Amino acid sequence: MIGQVLRTTLLALGAGFLCQLAQDWLISQYFTDFLKTNLINILIALLAVNSTTMGIVLTKLRELIEKHGHQGEFEQTRAQFLLSIKEQVTLIAAAILLLTFQQSSYLKDIPNSGLFFGSAVAAIFVYSMMILYDTAKSVLIIIDYSPETEI
């Protein structure tokens, strides 16, 4: 699981950095301004959506287990859902900290601080989109589940 989180973090950081480079190249601040204004609300809304989706998926898993057995096949799914919730709460806390530091007058004079904080904030957004994708993928896996096949 730690390897998975590290991989996702590195992918998100790379994508966030590329977003910032693209903004600089286009001489635009739209994405940065959008995230400054909306990131916390987006993260909280995604946490709510994902929690609700996970509740539905886990209810369906419970039904499948009661009907067909195979409880061991879904232990990893439950662990991944718990990890996802922890990741999302961590992303919210990290976003609050990074946005606070990004707006600090003390850090404005540090060279490339805008690029660093912009990349980190964009990475949080990208990471949250990856979590949303994984949650949606889990719904499709449950829909396609057949007790005769292995997951």
**Per-residue model confidence as pLDDT tens digits over 132-145:** 998 888 778 777 76
pLDDT over threshold 80, residue 151: no
Tens digits of residue pLDDT in 9-68: 999 999 999 999 999 999 999 999 999 999 999 999 999 999 998 888 888 878 877 887
Question: Which CB contacts under 8 angstroms, 24+ apart, belong to 81-84?
Answer: 81/54, 81/57, 81/138, 83/1, 83/5, 84/50, 84/54, 84/131, 84/134, 84/135
Residue 57: CA atoms inside 13 Å, Cβ hemisphere, count?
24
Q: How many residues does the chain have?
A: 151
**Mean residue pLDDT across the chain:** 87
Say what the pLDDT of residue 59 is. 85
pLDDT at 150 over 70: no
- How does DSSP assign 96-115, residue by residue? HHHHHHHT-TTTTTSTTHHH
